[in-house]
Structure 1
Amino acid sequence: MTRPPTPPGDFRTAGSTFHPPRYTRVTEAVRRGYDAYARRARAWTVGYQERGGRVHCGAGCVACCNMPIRVSLAEALVTAQALTDEEAARVEAHARRVIQNARTAPDDDVYVERHRREVGFCPLLDRSTGGCSRYDVRPTRCRDTFSALPARYCEAGAWENMNRRERDAYRREVARTPGTDGELHFIAPLEHLSEPIWASAAKAMRTEWGLEAWGDFWVLTTLARDPAFMASVERGDARGAWRAARAAGLAHPTVLELG
């Protein structure tokens, strides 16, 4: 049976996938950035390993999948387009827990800690396999975060649970491990290689909409499917977009930046 065309302004196609084609110029800038990053990161990692460096991340490791993630709306659209309605509902439920945390956390440290311990793991994580169910459209921060030390250092509370001797040992290990910035165990060059994705997203949003939108991954992925929010974004109306986000119960300065 032939499916009817999607009406203008309708963010749902027949079936269960959201796909607004008019955002292609924005999302394609991100997709090109993802592809370029994959090539550059792969080449850098080969050289790093040949020099004796080690990447401890691998399939099934989920130690960082409960971290808060900052993205551009351009990236959120890439993910939103790939989600089924059932997946989008799980993302929205997660976003509402994020908002509640943002509204009640007294400072950034508490916000991050509660995100990891109480808001919990990303709803797109398949806990049975330890794999991302939307790996191809995962955001930049999920692509460029790699550990030069074992995954136990990535777990929530790892630093807080160390005694003074263990913290001193950690600092020494980080300082002598190639690829780190000397302070944290994450591989700094792989993070730096992703910066062009952020720059491309910012430029694409400015060119198409006259504004930029940044914030929490799950909040923005949910708002990317909100017609009122996106209509205001398309008009370059930051105030209108904020009002739409507030009407949806998803506006808070900690997780949404418009301008």
Structure 2
Amino acid sequence: MTALGPLPPTAAVRLVKEAVQDAYADYGSEASRWLDGFTRQGGQVFCGAGCFGCCNMPIRLSLAEALIVRDALNAEKLAAVEAHARQVLANARTAPDEDVYVRRHRLEVGYCPLLDRATGQCSEYESRPTRCRDTFSAFPARYCTEGYWESLSPRDKRQYARDVARTPGTDGELHYIAPLEYLSEPVWEAAAGAMDRAFGLQVWGDFWVLVSLSARPDFMAAVEAGDGRAALKAAQAAGLSHPMILEIE
């Protein structure tokens, strides 16, 4: 494993980062307004400081977002992210299907290395990706932990379904607050558009894998040249490529 430090920003990198940061700000304002109305009408949000039941979930993001995280990390944290990325890769290579991949990610790959387990808070909260910004629960935190659903009896699962269906803010099937996920869609669109304009291609994939790749000069040089094939070869040479965790379009 090679621990790399942040790369000097280029005009293209600044363009994609600024587009996403502007979209983050817009989302934050929209989400705050929605939450104010939701709570005034009696809706409940159970997420809060120190709650990290969802911080061992797989996270998909754009390279544009990964660049924001990359530039917030020091060499030590970049090394920790890459170590995590290699566990993600090992899981992707051996998982027989997506369900097993997600379950093993949560139970075996484990919590994000940017999580401060002592406080239960993200150490890089300001640079966190979209999925970390728009995931909120209308049920207590225990419902977000891996294995809790499986521990419920058939009767409790039926009750869960009834409770979700009548809880404001859910999609009627899961306990997460759906409108906050819908409101974040412009962030994804901004990232896609910015990558197209700056790079002539789009890169999507696993959070920790893309942050690690974004710190590699050969990978970024290929991306900025719009050469998807060379970017894929650089990812393969780094041992950080698998169809489940890296998409270059």
Within 5 Å, give how 1:22-171 maps onto structure 2. Answer: 22=11, 23-171=13-161
Q: d(CA) in 1 for partners of 2:122 and 2:130? A: 14
Q: d(CA) in 1 for partners of 2:93 and 2:9? A: 31
The two structures have a TM-score, normalised by structure 2, of: 0.97
How far 1:19 moved relative to its partner?
Answer: 4.3
User: Residues 217 and 232 of structure 1: is their aligned pair in 2 closer, same or farther, counting only changes over 3 Å?
Assistant: same
- The 3-state SS of whatever aligns with 1:160 is helix
Q: d(CA) in 2 for partners of 1:24 and 1:158? A: 42
Q: d(CA) in 1 for partners of 2:71 and 2:61? A: 15
Q: d(CA) in 2 for partners of 1:170 and 1:40? A: 29
Q: d(CA) in 1 for partners of 2:177 and 2:26? A: 18
1:180 is aligned, of 142, 150, 170, to 170
Partner AA of 1:20 in structure 2: P
Q: d(CA) in 1 for partners of 2:194 and 2:49? A: 32
Partner of 2:207: 217
Partner of 1:5: none
How far 1:21 moved relative to its partner?
Answer: 3.8
Q: Does 85-94 or 160-169 show the bigger shift? A: 160-169
Q: d(CA) in 2 for partners of 1:181 and 1:36? A: 23
How far 1:110 moved relative to its partner?
Answer: 0.3
CA displacement, residues 9-50 of structure 1 (integer Å, 9 cap, x when unaligned)? xxx8xxx65442431000000100110011010000000001
Partner AA of 1:258 in structure 2: I
| Structure 2: stretches of 5+ with no match in the other structure | none
Q: d(CA) in 1 for partners of 2:150 and 2:231? A: 38
Q: d(CA) in 1 for partners of 2:182 and 2:40? A: 20
**Identity percentage of aligned residues:** 60
Native 8 Å contact 1:174 1:180 kept in 2? yes
How far 1:235 moved relative to its partner?
Answer: 1.1
| Structure 1: stretches of 5+ with no match in the other structure | 1-11
- The 3-state SS of whatever aligns with 1:39 is helix
Within 5 Å, give how 1:214-253 maps onto structure 2. Answer: 214-253=204-243
Q: d(CA) in 2 for partners of 1:242 and 1:159? A: 38
- The 3-state SS of whatever aligns with 2:151 is coil
Q: d(CA) in 1 for partners of 2:208 and 2:41? A: 38
Partner of 1:20: 9
Q: How many residues align?
A: 245
How far 1:174 moved relative to its partner?
Answer: 0.3
The structure, 1 or 2, with the larger RCO (C-alpha pairs under 8 Å, 6+ apart) is 2
Partner AA of 1:120 in structure 2: G
Partner AA of 2:236 in structure 1: R
How far 1:192 moved relative to its partner?
Answer: 0.4
Q: d(CA) in 1 for partners of 2:10 and 2:146? A: 39
Native 8 Å contact 1:18 1:84 kept in 2? no
Native 8 Å contact 1:146 1:186 kept in 2? yes
Q: d(CA) in 2 for partners of 1:69 and 1:166? A: 28
Partner of 1:3: none
How far 1:162 moved relative to its partner?
Answer: 1.4
Alpha-carbon RMSD: 1.0
